[in-house]
Chains A and B, each alone.
Chain A
Amino acid sequence: MNFFDWEFAWTILPSLLDASLKTVGITLAGFSIAIVLGLFLAVGRRSRKRWLSWPVTGLIEFIRSTPLLIQVFFLFFVMPNFGLNLSALQAGIIGIALHYACYTAEVYRAGLDAVPRAQWEAVTALNMRPLTAYRKIILPQALRPILPALGNYLISMLKDTPVLSAITVVEIMQRAKNIGSEHFRYLEPITMVGLFFLILSLGLAWLVRRLENRMELAR
């Protein structure tokens, strides 16, 4: 047997690339939910109303310190008991989005905390409505410095998508495992999946670093 069968690798490439689209799709869908939900969670956590800030803080801390795998299991296996039937893909996307929303919420919180106090006071002085204040004054200043941190969570999220294979979502990892058990060769498919994640995450990390440098320059 040769070390790495290039011919075999070439024949399974289309199948893996096909499944990789799903991985990328899950990441993008999950991340777009996470960045929106995260913002709401962050605003909720910073709220002065305790009935709002305490439960949100508890939720964020709980989700951040429990494994994604069990959360996804919970969504997929427990939720049908409450009449919420999710497909594996839906449960996976919602699970990963919720998990990362709690991480991005902390990033947003850091960004919102960094907005100078005078800006908040000015907004009050101008009698702006909260929505307008956030949209026009606070968020533009809070978002810019935290963009690289959000980018890093995009990378982590991409690397966490293989977890969804546990609830039968056929993304690239599951596809590679299936190929491996069909042909009884695991070396090529799993190595190729590793390379896929390596290339994508190193590429994204490079983009994030460029973004970071540009922000340093802009300051």
Chain B
Amino acid sequence: MNPVVSPSQSRFAYVRRTALQLRACGRSRRPSRSHSGALPQPSRVYRIFAMNELIPLLLEGTWVTVQVTFFGSLLAIAAALIAAFGRLSPIAPVRWLATAYIEIFRGSSLLVQLFWLYFVLPMPPFNVSLSAFNVAVIGLGLNIGAYGAEVLRGAIRSVHKGQFEACQALNMTAWQRARRIILPQALLAAIPPGTNLLIELLKNTSLVSLITLSDLAFRARQLDQATLMTLEIFGLALVIYFVLAQIINFSLRALERRLNRGRIGGSLS
């Protein structure tokens, strides 16, 4: 058997390299540990100047977080649509498959799924090596997609029965019925719970820092180790996540209002 390079080893090297680069850039400085064991705090002047350099680094991480959230939510919406229709399908094996997907991804923890994709897949029986970014998008997308499938299923069920009957009376095909009649109504009903799920997705992107993707959480942790300005860094990271969540919240609310225009009493029942 040929010697295998440990994936964890190469990943460790990656982490160390980034940390070294960060230090070589002169952006950060680690104060030496004093004899008492307590870490000396950086001076106030240093803190003010360092903030100018910290914020761009945190924003770099934020950009990764935004990308993961964006691609993850695209995958989640696609997975949710497929799984929701799969669960309502008249063909039993399709239904079972969709149910198995939903239950497995909802039932086991997200972090376990990310680790599974990142640590288990590259190993011998599978030999599928994905980059940390791909693992993040796939893991988050499939996980939130499973929750989204349940939301969509509820939304499709909430469409009035008369609408289905009307489609049948008009002799529409199943595809036409879904695309023209059912989905436009179901998706609208799914927006408020969907907003919550997207915010969950955003929050859960912080977990990808544990599989070494340098997102906002990863940057925060790394900068904290390099500068010891814990309060500023984690405080800023929290605020950035909060702002991103509010952006998602407000834009989806605006979308809902826009789509609701012209409807009387909120729903056609």
Residues on A facing B (Cβ under 8 Å): 1, 3, 62, 65-71, 73-74, 77-78, 81, 158-163, 165-166, 173, 176-177, 180-181, 184-187, 190-191, 193-195, 197-198, 201-202, 205
Q: Which residues of A contact B109 (CB under 8 A)?
A: 158-162, 173, 193-194, 197
Assess whether B104 is interfacial by the CB under 8 Å rule: yes
- Known contacts being A70-B206, A198-B104, is A78 close to B125, with CB within 8 Å? no
Closest 6 A/B residue pairs (Cβ): A65-B245, A67-B206, A162-B111, A186-B119, A194-B108, A67-B203
Distance (whole angstroms) from the CB of B154 to the closest CB of chain A: 14
Are A187 and B125 neighbours in the complex by a CB distance under 8 Å?
A: yes
Q: Which residues of B contact A173 (CB under 8 A)?
A: 109, 111-112, 115
Q: Are B224 and A66 in contact (CB under 8 A)?
A: no
Does B176 make an interface contact (CB < 8 A)?
Answer: no
Please state if A185 and B123 are interface contacts (CB–CB under 8 Å): yes
The listed residue with most A CB atoms (<10 A of its CB), out of B110, B111, B120, B206, is B111
Say yes or no: A201-B107 contact (C-beta < 8 A), given A78-B230, A186-B119, A190-B116: yes
Residue B155 interfacial (CB < 8 Å): no
Cα A70 to Cα B223 in complex, Å, equals: 14
Pick the interface stretch among B164-172, B231-239, B258-266.
Answer: B231-239
Once bound together, how far apart are the Cα atoms of A91 and B249, in whole Å? 29
The listed residue (A62, A81, A190, A202) touching B112 by CB distance below 8 A is A190
- Name B's interface SS: helix
In the complex the two chains form, is B220's CB within 8 Å of A65's CB?
Answer: no
Chain A: minimal CB distance from B238 (Å) = 5
Q: Which of B113, B234, B238 contacts A77 (CB 8 A)?
A: B234
Residues of B within 8 A of A180 (CB): 119
Q: Establish whether residues B242 and A184, one from each chain, have CB atoms under 8 Å apart when the complex forms.
A: no
Instruction: Name B residues whose Cβ lies closer than 8 Å to a Cβ of A.
Output: 6, 8, 41, 103-104, 106-113, 115-116, 119-120, 123-125, 199, 203-207, 209-210, 217, 220-221, 224, 230-231, 234-235, 237-238, 241-242, 245-246, 249
What A residues does B107 contact at CB under 8 A? 197-198, 201-202, 205
Is there contact, CB below 8 Å, between A69 and B113? no
Q: Are A190 and B124 in contact (CB under 8 A)?
A: no
A181 — which chain B residues lie within 8 A by C-beta? 8
- Are B115 and A69 in contact (CB-based, < 8 A)? no
Provide the residues of chain B in CB contact with A1, threshold 8 Å. 124-125
Q: How far is the CB of A84 from chain B (nearest CB, A)?
A: 12
A65: which of B104, B125, B199, B230 is its contact (CB, 8 Å)?
B199
Given contacts A65-B246, A166-B210, contact A70 B237 (CB under 8 A): yes
Cα-based distance from A197 to B245 in the complex (angstroms)? 28
A4 to chain B: closest residue by CB: B125
Whole-angstrom distance from the CB of B68 to the nearest CB of chain A?
12
| CB <8 Å contact, B231 and A187 | no
Contact A194 B113 (CB under 8 A): yes
Q: Is the CB of A67 within 8 A of B217?
A: yes
Chain B residues within 8 Å of A194, by CB: 108-109, 112-113, 116
Q: How far, in angstroms, from A166 to B111 measured CA to CA in the complex? A: 11
